[in-house]
Structure 1
Amino acid sequence: MHDTQTNEHAFAEAVRRNQAALRAALNTHYDFIVCGAGSSGCVVAARLAANPDVQVLLLEAGSSDDVASVIDPAQWPLNLGSERDWGFMAEPNPHLGGRALPMNMGRVLGGGSSINVMLWARGHRSDWNYFAAQAGNDAWNYESVLKIYRRIEDWHGPLDPERRGQGGPVYVAPAHAPQPAATLMLEAARSLGVPTFDSPNGAMMEADGGAAINDLRIRDGKRLSVFRSYTYPRMAQPNLTVLTGALVSKLSFDGRTVTGVEALVDGQPHWFGATREVILSLGAVNTPKVLMQSGIGPEQELGRHGITVRQHLPGVGQNHQDHVSFGCIWEYAEPQQVGNGGSEATLYWKSDPALDAPDMLHCQVEFPVPSAETAARGVPAHGWTMFAGLAHPKSRGELLLSGPGVHDAIIIRANTLSDPEDMQAALASVEMCRALGNASAFGRLVKGESMPGKLGREQMQAWVRSAAVTYWHQSCTAKMGRDAMSVVDASLQVYGIDKLRIADASIMPRITTGNTMAPCVVIGERAADLIKTRHGL
């Protein structure tokens, strides 16, 4: 143990010295510039930097992840609203009674994987097959993606060699010693005819759904972000520069070819040239923002702000999707421990067997989590929450510019619950949650249901509008596909622009079933494979 700690300290010091030297002597040009050190960008940068002859620059607006609230998974709520959060807010929404939802997003090395609840959810078979159909390329289908998951995982759970991998960079394990609220949720699910599985990511992602103890990216009680798994191990190398405090403002061009990026580094303007490619991995809000402010997007929107149109792509900033959920809360009979960051069990299920994927996404949290509005109804001091979520909402939002500059805030019109079908799905999901939480399995653990309780249809709809919160899974705003609203092709290259790819949740044609970190890692892996093939690396 002592030797391990000594080696870790020695490596950390080597990283610190190397990155300080690289920062002090920045190059004017790099082979590849990756913008954004989130769950996709960290993968792309690390995979490209594996070749010692390739110079990679990774730009991150946030700062170090070496803080207690990142390292300890249980402290994840402390990051919300901190300097590690972009702090986006959606516009007030008439479909939510005028409420404006916070749209938190990671602004730190590791992005969302440094401030989330560490759930590893691969996406349903039908999601990936939909990606492949939209892209017109089988490399995106479930069978192809399964090979990537097997290659990258280091699975520490029940053996499933057909679906799970071992020895990869991504340590994944079922929640260790789950609390009674989690195990009883599985018992309750079985009592309602919902099958249970030993993992949400094996056969369950190929079926109508089910319930399972969560797969988490936690080892020895510590968070394992994508940054720590992929990028950090390469940061003592001279060919990988990780630049924090670097806010990307726009792309530079020669005609329709991207030549580099403009960024504010510690507030000072810098230009960095890319001899081979620029990869945008800024997430589903900032990727379309930088595209539009660089002249790539809907010409009408760019024209409103006097931005010269370089490529008219009407889909940039459109098709905004996010998982919405409604916190149903029960009071414990006695105070209970919180395990593994608080989210240890999950359920996916179909409200209609004819659907191609589960439309209900239920995540359990072992403490009460009301919305700001439902908190006024009274919240138990000790309780747990079942988030009745929509896995595939029909509502679509959009992102608009408030101005042409780097500091002009993005306008997020999430349009949550704007499609009437989403209200119907929400009511079904809440009733499913209530049936679970009120099942006899919970009898000895729970004192009673705190909210919503048994309400009439109109009252329940009003509760749904006041309870709605986001799972923080914003996606689909620069989608992959072949129609007029698509922004990237099957190779993640931006239509009409050379030397520019996108690798993050914005390229999803539709939001995946479950949490989005794992699919973002796959998107990063696909991007790296495509780039290496294109450049013979």
Structure 2
Amino acid sequence: MMNEHYDFIVCGAGPAGSVIAARLAEDKQVNVLLIEAGGTDEVPEVMTPAQWPLNLGSERDWAFVAQPNAHLNGRSIPLNMGKVLGGGSSINVMVWARGHKNDWNYFAEASGDPAWGYESVLEIYRRIENWQGASDPVRRGTGGPVYVESAANPQPIAQSMVEAANSMGIPRFESPNGEMMEGRGGAAINDLIIRNGRRSSIFRSYVYPLLNQPNLSVLTHTIVSKLIFDGKSVIGVEVIQDGRRNHYYASEEVILSLGAINTPKVLLQSGIGPEEELRRHGIPVVQHLPGVGQNHQDHVSFGCIFEYREPQKISNGGSEATLYWTSDPNLKQPDMFHCQVEFPVPSADTAHLGVPEHGWTMFAGLSHPKSRGTVRLSGPDVNDPVLINANTLSHPDDLKAAFSNIELCRDLGNSSVFEKLVKREALPGKLGRSEMENFARNAAVTYWHQSCTAKMGQDSMSVVDGNLKVYGINKLRVADASIMPEITSGNTMAPCVVIGERAADIIKQAHRMTSYQAVKVAG
């Protein structure tokens, strides 16, 4: 039997929500409820690294799809998102990528709070990590909850990618999470959250060890439908369980960590968002916040595929090497974000061009795309789907960047370094300008890094402040990828763990909790 009343309710057991629930539950005097729409992670598709693609389209996937996009030749691209304990950290490719130094400094600038800056975040990362590689006391931590190691025994194709990049003047680093992401970037073998051959998700790292604590309750197969208010204070949540509506109440705070699609959906359906849209759906306006559901950002990529001379083994989930690079040395952050996958991955609209049975993919990715999308309601009820206008490639600079990224991938894949492993370039091949543009529009897919739809900041389009409190609302915070003012350079899981840690620190300090440990703010 579940209690109805708790001190804190955390909605969403993804990377940020798992961290917050676990950190708050460290104080044994505090009762915490963690609510997750999905179910157990104890299935082979989650725990076995090589089986991660089987989660896509399964019951562990929200299976969002963007609206048709004229900039993608009318395509509606899939936008998968984890619906399981651990969220994205339970269905992703397990890459641990911290983001660039200047990503975090921009967070500090946007929020007006230096505690979001790189030096402070470095201290959080040292607290988080149980790093298994070479000692780097400035940048890496040991003994933390998240087991991180460089991809064990990487395949020759991964090692060749790093070597090929180095031959083209892109420096090689031993890890993508140290010095490499303080300058122009580089190439490296990936850091992964794999331990003893099994996925070590953020839920497994933080919450699982505490499941026997009586002050932490985890509720699965439960969808948060809306917030419950007393005036402008949030006092609980309405949920759907087994087709029935139930209420749970929080005496202190509710924290939304539902991800960049469901967090704005719940805010909107609760009456927090653009007044015009709320009134259009007959939703009473609790707080006019025009930025809710705006500023949608996502890394976009284009699969360049090469055929092996002989079939090759796939290890560590198949993603063992990565590249970040600034095409212009004057840029503050890498604009190129390439992820290697050890099997062929065309889009649904490029597969007909001919895909080898045995091959590998270099995803030419845009690290900081300029296109912006929206998340809107189709109706006021929890069962009404959201309308995601991702607007991928809507900004003309993104198409130009796509050409540059694809050409770099082609140069890498056709490097002499690969001669013994690669037979030929399968996609896209040498194309003219119009054919390459058509390829890019048909090949564009998501990196599954949706973010920024409830951004942190100080302007009129900001949804939360530097303490992650929703403007105009009491006892409500947001802590997930939606609060990013701009998407980070690379995979978003590790930054979401930092967001969770920051949220937990802020909440503990605000409520004078006994387990609070301050993180020193540089400067």
Of 140, 159, 162, the residue aligned with 2:135 is: 159
* Counterpart residue number, 2:67: 91
Structure 1 segment 426-465 matched on structure 2, within 5 A:
426-465=402-441
Verify the 8 A CA contact 1:351 1:425 in the aligned structure 2: no
Measure how far apart 1:266 and its partner are.
2.2
* Counterpart residue number, 2:96: 120
Of 423, 427, 431, the residue aligned with 2:399 is: 423
Q: What is the CA–CA distance in structure 2 between the aligned matches of 1:36 and 1:381, rounded to whole Å?
A: 38
Kindly provide the amino acid, as one letter, of the partner of residue 461 in structure 2. Answer: M
Structure 1 consecutive aligned stretches of length 4 or more whose deviation exceeds 4 Å? none
Q: What is the CA–CA distance in structure 2 between the aligned matches of 1:245 and 1:193, rounded to whole Å?
A: 50
Verify the 8 A CA contact 1:328 1:433 in the aligned structure 2: yes
Kindly provide the amino acid, as one letter, of the partner of residue 484 in structure 2. Answer: M
Corresponding residue SS for 1:424:
helix
Q: What is the CA–CA distance in structure 1 between the aligned matches of 2:262 and 2:57, rounded to whole Å?
A: 17
* Counterpart residue number, 1:171: 147
Q: What is the CA–CA distance in structure 2 between the aligned matches of 1:29 and 1:355, rounded to whole Å?
A: 50
Structure 2 residue 1 is the aligned partner of structure 1 residue 28? no
Structure 2 residue 271 is the aligned partner of structure 1 residue 295? yes
| The 10-residue stretch of structure 1 (97-106 or 258-267) with the greater mean CA deviation from structure 2 | 258-267
Q: CA offsets per residue over residues 302-345 of structure 1, 9 Å max, x none? A: 11100011000000000000000000000000000001000000
Corresponding residue SS for 1:423:
helix
* Counterpart residue number, 2:520: none
Of 404, 411, 415, the residue aligned with 2:387 is: 411
Q: CA offsets per residue over residues 269-299 of structure 1, 9 Å max, x none? A: 1101100000000000000000000000000
Kindly provide the amino acid, as one letter, of the partner of residue 480 in structure 2. Answer: D
Q: What is the CA–CA distance in structure 2 between the aligned matches of 1:162 and 1:270, rounded to whole Å?
A: 48
Q: CA offsets per residue over residues 10-48 of structure 1, 9 Å max, x none? A: xxxxxxxxxxxxxx2x11210000000000000000000
* Counterpart residue number, 1:43: 19
Q: What is the CA–CA distance in structure 2 between the aligned matches of 1:458 and 1:128, rounded to whole Å?
A: 38
Measure how far apart 1:368 and its partner are.
0.2
Measure how far apart 1:480 and its partner are.
0.1
* Counterpart residue number, 1:276: 252
Corresponding residue SS for 2:436:
helix
Corresponding residue SS for 1:40:
helix
* Counterpart residue number, 2:519: none
Q: What is the CA–CA distance in structure 2 between the aligned matches of 1:72 and 1:500, rounded to whole Å?
A: 36
Structure 1 segment 271-420 matched on structure 2, within 5 A:
271-420=247-396
Measure how far apart 1:300 and its partner are.
0.7
Of 175, 181, 185, the residue aligned with 1:205 is: 181
Verify the 8 A CA contact 1:34 1:41 in the aligned structure 2: yes
Q: What is the CA–CA distance in structure 1 between the aligned matches of 2:179 and 2:214, rounded to whole Å?
A: 42
Of 238, 257, 263, the residue aligned with 2:214 is: 238
Q: What is the CA–CA distance in structure 2 between the aligned matches of 1:57 and 1:229, rounded to whole Å?
A: 18
Percent of counterpart pairs with the same letter? 69
Q: CA offsets per residue over residues 442-470 of structure 1, 9 Å max, x none? A: 01100010010111111101100000000
Q: What is the CA–CA distance in structure 1 between the aligned matches of 2:243 and 2:469, rounded to whole Å?
A: 30
Q: What is the CA–CA distance in structure 1 between the aligned matches of 2:183 and 2:412, rounded to whole Å?
A: 20
Q: What is the CA–CA distance in structure 1 between the aligned matches of 2:122 and 2:237, rounded to whole Å?
A: 34
Kindly provide the amino acid, as one letter, of the partner of residue 152 in structure 1. Answer: I
Q: CA offsets per residue over residues 393-445 of structure 1, 9 Å max, x none? A: 00000011000000000000000000000000100000111111111100110
Of 231, 239, 247, the residue aligned with 1:255 is: 231
Verify the 8 A CA contact 1:246 1:263 in the aligned structure 2: yes
Q: What is the CA–CA distance in structure 1 between the aligned matches of 2:299 and 2:478, rounded to whole Å?
A: 22
Kindly provide the amino acid, as one letter, of the partner of residue 407 in structure 1. Answer: N
Kindly provide the amino acid, as one letter, of the partner of residue 392 in structure 2. Answer: T
Q: CA offsets per residue over residues 241-292 of structure 1, 9 Å max, x none? A: 0000110000010110001000012222110110000000000000000000
Q: What is the CA–CA distance in structure 2 between the aligned matches of 1:39 and 1:196, rounded to whole Å?
A: 29
Q: What is the CA–CA distance in structure 1 between the aligned matches of 2:407 and 2:349, rounded to whole Å?
A: 20
Measure how far apart 1:351 and its partner are.
1.5
Measure how far apart 1:490 and its partner are.
0.2
* Number of matched pairs: 513
* Counterpart residue number, 1:57: 33
| The 10-residue stretch of structure 1 (451-460 or 487-496) with the greater mean CA deviation from structure 2 | 451-460
Measure how far apart 1:130 and its partner are.
0.3
Unaligned runs of 5+ in 1: 1-23
Q: CA offsets per residue over residues 327-385 of structure 1, 9 Å max, x none? A: 00000000000010000000001111121100000000000000001000010000000
Q: What is the CA–CA distance in structure 2 between the aligned matches of 1:476 and 1:250, rounded to whole Å?
A: 20
Kindly provide the amino acid, as one letter, of the partner of residue 65 in structure 1. Answer: D
Corresponding residue SS for 1:197:
coil
Corresponding residue SS for 1:148:
helix
Kindly provide the amino acid, as one letter, of the partner of residue 47 in structure 2. Answer: I
Kindly provide the amino acid, as one letter, of the partner of residue 398 in structure 1. Answer: T
Verify the 8 A CA contact 1:321 1:510 in the aligned structure 2: yes
Corresponding residue SS for 1:196:
coil
Measure how far apart 1:109 and its partner are.
0.3
Measure how far apart 1:159 and its partner are.
1.3
* Counterpart residue number, 2:521: none
Unaligned runs of 5+ in 2: 514-523
Q: What is the CA–CA distance in structure 2 between the aligned matches of 1:190 and 1:107, rounded to whole Å?
A: 39
Verify the 8 A CA contact 1:194 1:210 in the aligned structure 2: yes
Q: What is the CA–CA distance in structure 2 between the aligned matches of 1:509 and 1:247, rounded to whole Å?
A: 26
Q: What is the CA–CA distance in structure 2 between the aligned matches of 1:333 and 1:497, rounded to whole Å?
A: 60
* Counterpart residue number, 2:516: none
Q: What is the CA–CA distance in structure 1 between the aligned matches of 2:47 and 2:128, rounded to whole Å?
A: 22
Kindly provide the amino acid, as one letter, of the partner of residue 42 in structure 1. Answer: S
Measure how far apart 1:100 and its partner are.
0.3
Measure how far apart 1:227 and its partner are.
0.3
Corresponding residue SS for 1:428:
helix
Q: What is the CA–CA distance in structure 2 between the aligned matches of 1:348 and 1:413, rounded to whole Å?
A: 27
Q: What is the CA–CA distance in structure 1 between the aligned matches of 2:207 and 2:243, rounded to whole Å?
A: 24
Kindly provide the amino acid, as one letter, of the partner of residue 334 in structure 1. Answer: E
Structure 2 residue 126 is the aligned partner of structure 1 residue 181? no
Structure 2 residue 113 is the aligned partner of structure 1 residue 142? no
